[in-house]
Amino acid sequence: MKIVKPSTIAGVMELLPEDQLAFDRMKNIIEETFKKFQFLPIDTPVIEKNEILFAKGGGETEKQIYEIASETRDMSLRFDLTVPLARYVAEHFADLNFPFKRYHIAKVYRGERNQKGRYREFYQCDIDIIGHNSLAIANDAIPPRVIYEIFNKLDTPDVTFKINNRKLLNGFLNALDITDTTDVLRLIDKKDKIGMENTKNELLELVDNQKADKILAFIASDLKNEELLASLDDFVDNNLYREGLCELKTVYSYMIHLGIPDKNIKIDPSITRGLDYYTGTVYETFVNGYENIGSVSSGGRYEKLAENFSKQALPGVGMSIGLTRLFYQLKEIGLVNTNESRLTDILIIPMSDEENFYAIDILNKLHEEGKRADIYLEGGKLKKKFSYADKVGVKYAYIIGQSEREEGKVTIRNMQTGEQELVDFANL
Amino acid sequence: MKIVKPSTIAGVMELLPEDQLAFDRMKNIIEETFKKFQFLPIDTPVIEKNEILFAKGGGETEKQIYEIASETRDMSLRFDLTVPLARYVAEHFADLNFPFKRYHIAKVYRGERNQKGRYREFYQCDIDIIGHNSLAIANDAIPPRVIYEIFNKLDTPDVTFKINNRKLLNGFLNALDITDTTDVLRLIDKKDKIGMENTKNELLELVDNQKADKILAFIASDLKNEELLASLDDFVDNNLYREGLCELKTVYSYMIHLGIPDKNIKIDPSITRGLDYYTGTVYETFVNGYENIGSVSSGGRYEKLAENFSKQALPGVGMSIGLTRLFYQLKEIGLVNTNESRLTDILIIPMSDEENFYAIDILNKLHEEGKRADIYLEGGKLKKKFSYADKVGVKYAYIIGQSEREEGKVTIRNMQTGEQELVDFANL
């Protein structure tokens, strides 16, 4: 028999069971919290028609896609969960209730060049609220509220939400008579990476000194949220700016009222989140003390979810967690607690096959009581059996020899201390 | 804007949220039960290298595969979870503890011709116990025990396990001096479909009358399990037959001892489960009263899990549920209870934006108490809001008008009866 070297394709995350349990625990916390806030699950096919995936026009995305090698070359693996959501809402429009709150936790695919921390297959965890014709601005406070609770339940420090509103930012740039805003926005977006001095120098290549100073004052305030919002009242003035500021104030007040502490919110007029998709509220989320790993959950408000698939006006707001990358990052910095997610507490060890049935009686009893117990049914020496219990990491081994069986007892061994105790079956 | 008609690719299951909740409830029951019996999760990439997927040689499988259209044409979507398991165990051999009990619930892909009840993307739910060098026969009783509990928790009638042992069947055919067993096994496999008379007629084309009668007597006994096993003692005699019978008796006794009632087990010497993979115990599972939908969970014992990827001897035993098809079938025959899986019990309805903050206080309180509550934040008339509550199917609407807010009260409307009651916030 020829042996093929067993290996996965490059650029994917495959975990050993212990880490998988920790990963699944995170995924479950995310899913349970999504459900607590009444987001409904959807599950769409991994393979979509190319005409759906590229309805918006290909560009960068098309190069990254995994296409299926069928004769017709007309389908590919999804690269995000947003296009499938748009297709789903448009296809099932008549059967959905709006606002439609959905979550979707699933794998997406990108033929990325292979580099550290970048994955070709990774989990996205998305929540979105989709309105029909309109969607109240108060909804924009819900996604960060959900994300806040998720990170509270994970083994991480607190998070800080940076929030902004694209109307405020665009209105501000309009008020400065900056019409070609793309380069300025790109610069604002990378200000934390390049530092304030470089930002100013590069700004001066695009606008005059006075405007550069005004932009820097706008995007780099140290004021607290309430004061910052007050200071923005008179900063510049036009309709778009005022609409954006009003929305930002509203979203902030709802976030507070929904229970996100003020200290976990940072209103930040420099947040842009991509240049053409989001139209109002935008958010980024940072783990306090670990800001260098980047935003762990981002999103925002958009006006036209499914304009390529439907004539219905479908505004929405949502946030997303890139779980595979997040798990990798949290593990790297030691914030994944694998002990929390171990499976087995008790391993029942019959000394020989003669004891198996009695050992199974004990297993059945422990299972009835909701205990996390397993049984070791292989032959071999006791040493080998203890070694298995050690490696699996159980807290207790229940040892069943002939005398235990005959007397209806169990020897309970504490695997940490090595202490043993003989207990009646009836008193387990 | 050109509108692309929104549609999935053909041959996939995509559910509306209400059905998705019911589907997820089934999936959760399966997963929780797998975990209760201490199977560990694994999650492997959907895309595998072709050299892994086709290590066994292509054949029928290769035609059904979805290949990725990369330049190198060297990877495809997995068509089952068994090849990925073999690759995983071989690749991570040094880091796993044996017996290695793993579960895997995930989608697999087959480029099937499009026909009713056949899916190109579907969920498999697999459990396997993999030994290193050997695996005690008692393990063969565990997979059916797990599957038994799963179907007990689902909204289905009881199931019956048909079990057999391939050594028994092969030993029996050897004893009759039937050397080319393939045709006979194929015939035995389809006996329920074609009926006993046709089976006998077709058998007579392969063997003489005396052997045909002996085969029919062997595969079509009406005896109860204990009596059947006793009757098999002297049916024919050779080593393989005796080994198979001994294993079958052992597995049966462990199934009983693990808590599967005898009435839910039918020892059936005609069960074959494919011709070349399984080597010992084989199982099929039927929903009582709905035998016509076919086996809902099958599997068996195999000797060489990863012979293409490793020199280690890795015998195993496992069972599998094809969840997508099962959900479709149970839904068709009315055995899926979507009420069990509704998400929202209470919808809070503020009459106007003025009431939103007070309504959120109520939401926060209900969430703290673990209630399944949501809030409707859109504007519009009360009629529209009630209509939403009706469609979502909530039990109670908590109506908040100006007077409720000012007096710290809530009007609770029973959506089934239409009865309303005014309650203090403090007494909620």
Is B38 within 8 Å of A134 when comparing Cβ atoms? no
Q: Nearest 10 degrees: CA dihedral of B393, B398, B400, B401?
A: 70
| Residue B285 labelled as part of a binding site | no
- Could you tell me whether strands A420-424 and A409-414 are parallel, antiparallel, or unpaired per DSSP bridges? antiparallel
For B287-328, write each residue's pLDDT tens digit: 999 999 999 999 999 999 999 999 999 999 999 999 999 999
How far is Cα B185 from Cα B176, in angstroms, rounded to an integer?
13
How far is Cα A107 from Cα B137, in angstroms, rounded to an integer?
37
Query: What number is the ipTM of this complex?
Result: 0.95
Query: At how many degrees (to 10) do helices A196-204 and A209-219 cross?
Result: 140
Q: Which of B95, B307, B378 sits opposite A16 (nearest CB)?
A: B95
How far is Cα A27 from Cα A323, in angstroms, rounded to an integer?
8
Query: At how many degrees (to 10) do helices B323-332 and B17-36 cross?
Result: 120
Q: Which of B1, B42, B43 sits opposite A307 (nearest CB)?
A: B1
- Which of the two residues, B275 and B398, has the higher pLDDT score? B398
Q: Which of A45, A258, A378 sits opposite B14 (nearest CB)?
A: A45
| Residue A323 labelled as part of a binding site | no
DSSP 8-state assignment for residue A238: -
Q: Which of B12, B68, B343 sits opposite A45 (nearest CB)?
A: B12
pLDDT score at B323: 98
Mutation target vs A (from B2, B27, B68; most A CBs, 10 A cutoff)? B68
pLDDT score at B327: 96
A-chain residues near B37 (CB < 8 A): 374
Euclidean distance between the first and the last CA atom of chain A, given in angstroms as a whole number: 50
The SS3 assignment for A274 reads coil
Q: What is the pTM of this model?
A: 0.96
C-beta of residue A181 within 8 angstroms of C-beta of residue A173: yes
C-beta of residue A185 within 8 angstroms of C-beta of residue A275: yes
In this structure, of A329-343, B26-40, B325-339, the range with the lowest mean pLDDT score is A329-343
How far is Cα A103 from Cα A143, in angstroms, rounded to an integer?
11
Mean pLDDT in chain A?
Answer: 94
Cα A152 to the center of its chain, rounded Å: 13
For A244-255, write each residue's pLDDT tens digit: 999 999 999 999
Query: At how many degrees (to 10) do helices A239-257 and A225-232 cross?
Result: 160
Judged by phi (left if over 0) then psi (alpha if -120 to 50, else beta), residue A300 lies in: left
How far is Cα B201 from Cα B208, in angstroms, rounded to an integer?
11
Is A45 within 8 Å of B9 when comparing Cβ atoms? yes
A69, with CB counted inside 10 A (0-12, 13-18, 19+), is middle
* Phi and psi at residue B412, to the nearest 5°: -100, 120
How far is Cα B361 from Cα A57, in angstroms, rounded to an integer?
45
Q: Superfamily assignment of B17-333 in CATH? A: Bira Bifunctional Protein; Domain 2 (3.30.930.10)
pLDDT score at A193: 86
Residue B277: pLDDT above 90?
A: no
A346-427 CATH pick, 3.20.10.10, 3.40.50.880, 3.40.50.800, 3.40.950.10: 3.40.50.800
Instruction: Give Cβ neighbours of residue A184 (< 8 Å, ≥ 6 apart).
Output: A173, A178, A203, A206, A207, A215
Report which secondary-structure segment, H or E, holds A88.
helix A82-91
Using alpha carbons, select from A314, A366, A270, A255 the residue that is nearest to residue A90: A314
For A145-197, write each residue's pLDDT tens digit: 999 999 999 989 999 999 999 999 999 999 999 977 889 998 998 888 898 89
Is A310 within 8 Å of B6 when comparing Cβ atoms? yes
For A282-317, write each residue's pLDDT tens digit: 999 999 999 999 999 999 999 999 999 999 999 999
Using alpha carbons, select from A9, A30, A6, A10 the residue that is nearest to residue A327: A30
Is B138 within 8 Å of A73 when comparing Cβ atoms? no
Q: What is the mean pLDDT of residues B122-148?
A: 98
Residue A341: pLDDT above 90?
A: no
B-chain residues near A44 (CB < 8 A): 8, 14
Segments making up each domain of chain A, as ranges: 17-333, 346-427
Residue A221: pLDDT above 70?
A: yes
- Could you tell me whether strands B298-302 and B100-109 are parallel, antiparallel, or unpaired per DSSP bridges? unpaired
pLDDT score at B71: 85
pLDDT score at B1: 72
How far is Cα B273 from Cα B267, in angstroms, rounded to an integer?
14
Mutation target vs B (from A4, A15, A346; most B CBs, 10 A cutoff)? A4
Q: What token pair was written down for A78?
A: 């999804």
The SS3 assignment for A81 reads coil
Residue A208: pLDDT above 90?
A: yes
C-beta of residue A61 within 8 angstroms of C-beta of residue A79: yes
pLDDT score at B58: 63
Is B49 within 8 Å of A92 when comparing Cβ atoms? no
The percentage of chain A sitting over the pLDDT mark of 90, rounded to a whole number, equals: 85
B-chain residues near A66 (CB < 8 A): 47, 68-70
C-beta of residue B384 within 8 angstroms of C-beta of residue B349: no
How far is Cα A64 from Cα B14, in angstroms, rounded to an integer?
25
C-alpha to C-alpha distances, A146 to A26, A149, A150, B354, nearest whole angstrom: 14, 5, 6, 23
| Residue B277 labelled as part of a binding site | yes
For the four alpha carbons of B58, B64, B68 and B72, in that order, the dihedral sign comes to positive
Using alpha carbons, select from A123, A164, A168, A127 the residue that is nearest to residue A40: A127
> SS3 sequence, chain B?
CCCCCCCCCCCCCCCCHHHHHHHHHHHHHHHHHHHHCCCEECCCCCEEEHHHHCCCCCCHHHHCCCEECCCCCCEEECCCCHHHHHHHHHHCHHHCCCCEEEEEEEEEECCCCCCCCCCCEEEEEEEEEECCCCCCHHHHHHHHHHHHHHHHHCCCCCEEEEEEEHHHHHHHHHHCCCCCCHHHHHHHHCHHHHHHHHHHHHHHCCCCHHHHHHHHHHHCCCCCHHHHHHHHCCCCCCHHHHHHHHHHHHHHHHHHHHCCCHHHEEECCCCCCCCCCCCCEEEEEEECCCHHHCCCCEEEEECCCCCCCCCCCCCEEEEEEEHHHHHHHHHHCCCCCCHHHCCCCEEEEECCHHHHHHHHHHHHHHHHCCCCEEECCCCCCHHHHHHHHHHHCCCEEEEECHHHHHHCEEEEEECCCCCEEEEEHHHC
For A65-93, write each residue's pLDDT tens digit: 999 998 889 999 999 999 999 999 999 99
Identify the bridge partners of residue A47 per DSSP, sorted by sequence position.
A77
- Could you tell me whether strands A396-400 and A346-350 are parallel, antiparallel, or unpaired per DSSP bridges? parallel
Is B9 within 8 Å of A42 when comparing Cβ atoms? no
Using alpha carbons, select from A344, A338, A359, A341 the residue that is nearest to residue A402: A359
How far is Cα B102 from Cα A97, in angstroms, rounded to an integer?
39
Radius of gyration of chain B (CA): 28
Residue A319: pLDDT above 80?
A: yes
Band of residue A62 on the pLDDT scale cut at 50, 70, 90: low
How far is Cα B122 from Cα B27, in angstroms, rounded to an integer?
13
